[in-house]
């Protein structure tokens, strides 16, 4: 029979794993008697865990919510996941939540076993806030830890990217970020001599890491500005779209604002609004505006007017072929 302390931790871990546990099943899983289960449950209750008795043929137990937070037990994977979540909250939330997340993260680090603490201390994540529009791509937690450790240690990261037959990559890792439901590595690609953005779910890390390096200055100096610029297609990493225009729509501003993520919507009279929007090309910008079922008046620039004319001609040809 395991020692009392180890047995209590095992019992607590089981109670956290599912809603209800029959007493006989707990006794079987822990290889102890039902009487010992009852005694251990009483010990956990004395420690502050609200364990309720469940009525039934065999009886049972349920770990319920209490009025105070008792000591918690996490396995290694849970500890890593919790650390990642708290780091994201600490870097992307408002002042109050960010401060609380940072304090919670510090508390967890203090009680981590040494084998986990050394791994988690190297975990550095930056969250660039944006509502996710797609499900998160699954990423192995060990991959995130390995990338973050290389960022923290300032060591060249060696990895395979994409297909297994592609040549290995070498990069100076700068930031590990989340964007639109996915994890990305921002790094200086040594083979291409330029900044690159790599999807973490496509990375297979090679060991050991390469030599240490002196971090380069990220274009724009701010990782959020740089990332937004890259994902919007801006070549200068300024965060501005390469194509930006303004139109008047015969539609209420409140309605247009519901479906505009990055644009600026202003009132322009009863049931009219002024919309300033950007995109990676003039044709894409015209198409983005045309999705609103309303009359459109182009304020500028001329390139946007030309893009509407180009799309109108294309749509007319498409309609004519469809009729024929």
With respect to residue 270, please indicate whether it lies within any of the assigned structural domains: yes
Instruction: CATH number of the domain at 43, please.
Output: 1.10.10.10
Residue bearing the bigger pLDDT, 251 or 115: 251
CB 156 within 8 A of CB 213: yes
Kindly indicate the confidence band of residue 1, based on its pLDDT and cuts at 50, 70 and 90. very low
Q: How much is the pLDDT for 8?
A: 82
Q: What number of CA atoms fall less than 13 Å from residue 177's CA on the CB side? A: 25
In a shared domain, residues 229 and 252: no
For 81-116, the pLDDT digits (tens) are: 777 777 766 655 444 556 667 777 776 766 677 777
In a shared domain, residues 285 and 308: yes
Q: How much is the pLDDT for 136?
A: 57
Place of tokens 């409140």: 254
Number of domains within the chain: 4
With respect to residue 268, please indicate whether it lies within any of the assigned structural domains: yes
In a shared domain, residues 215 and 180: yes
With respect to residue 255, please indicate whether it lies within any of the assigned structural domains: yes
Q: How much is the pLDDT for 304?
A: 95
In a shared domain, residues 199 and 286: no
In a shared domain, residues 17 and 40: yes
In a shared domain, residues 308 and 289: yes
In a shared domain, residues 147 and 162: yes
With respect to residue 23, please indicate whether it lies within any of the assigned structural domains: yes
With respect to residue 296, please indicate whether it lies within any of the assigned structural domains: yes
CB 195 within 8 A of CB 146: no
Mean pLDDT for 261-289 is 83
Q: How much is the pLDDT for 57?
A: 66
In DSSP notation, 249-317 reads ESS-HHHHHHT-SSSEEEE-STT-EEEEEEESSHHHHHHHHHTSSS-EEEEE-HHHHHHHHHHHHHHHH
Of 16, 32, 63, the residue at which a domain comes to its end is 63
Structural domain boundaries, residue 131? 124-234
For 153-173, the pLDDT digits (tens) are: 999 999 999 876 778 999 999
pLDDT of 70 over the 80 cut: no
Mean pLDDT for 130-149 is 71
In a shared domain, residues 183 and 263: no
Question: Three-state DSSP class for 6?
Answer: helix
Of 234, 251, 266, the residue at which a domain comes to its end is 234
pTM (2 d.p.): 0.47
For 182-240, the pLDDT digits (tens) are: 788 999 999 999 999 899 889 999 989 999 999 998 887 767 667 766 766 544 444 46
With respect to residue 192, please indicate whether it lies within any of the assigned structural domains: yes
In a shared domain, residues 27 and 113: no
In a shared domain, residues 131 and 207: yes
With respect to residue 69, please indicate whether it lies within any of the assigned structural domains: no
In a shared domain, residues 105 and 154: no
């Amino acid at each position: 029979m395991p020692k009392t302390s180890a047995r209590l931790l095992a019992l607590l871990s089981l109670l956290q794993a599912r809603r209800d546990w029959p007493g006989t099943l707990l006794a079987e899983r822990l290889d102890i008697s039902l009487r010992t289960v009852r005694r251990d449950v009483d010990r956990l209750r004395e420690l502050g865990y609200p364990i309720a008795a469940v009525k039934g043929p065999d009886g049972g137990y349920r770990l319920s919510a209490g009025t105070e937070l008792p000591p918690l037990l996490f396995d290694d994977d849970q500890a890593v996941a919790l650390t990642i979540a708290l780091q994201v909250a600490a870097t992307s939330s408002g002042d109050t939540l960010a401060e609380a997340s940072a304090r919670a993260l510090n508390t967890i680090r203090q009680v981590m076993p040494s084998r986990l603490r050394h791994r988690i201390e190297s975990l550095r994540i930056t969250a660039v806030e944006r509502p996710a529009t797609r499900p998160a791509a699954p990423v192995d937690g060990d991959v995130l830890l390995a990338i973050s450790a290389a960022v923290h240690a300032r060591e060249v990261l060696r990895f395979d990217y994409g297909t297994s037959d592609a040549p290995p990559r070498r990069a100076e890792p700068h930031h590990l970020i989340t964007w639109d439901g996915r994890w990305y590595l921002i790094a200086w690609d040594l083979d291409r001599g330029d900044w690159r953005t790599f999807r973490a779910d496509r990375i297979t890390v090679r060991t050991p890491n390469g030599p240490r390096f002196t971090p380069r200055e990220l274009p724009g100096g701010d990782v959020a500005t740089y990332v937004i610029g890259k994902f919007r297609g801006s070549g200068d990493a300024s965060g501005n779209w390469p194509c930006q225009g303004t139109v008047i729509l015969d539609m209420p501003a409140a309605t247009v604002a519901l479906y505009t993520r990055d644009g600026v919507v202003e009132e322009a009279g009863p049931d009219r609004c002024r919309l300033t929007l950007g995109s990676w090309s003039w044709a894409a910008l015209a198409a983005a505006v045309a999705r609103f079922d309303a009359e459109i008046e182009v304020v500028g620039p001329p390139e946007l007017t030309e893009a509407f004319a180009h799309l109108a001609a294309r749509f007319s040809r498409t309609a004519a072929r469809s009729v024929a």
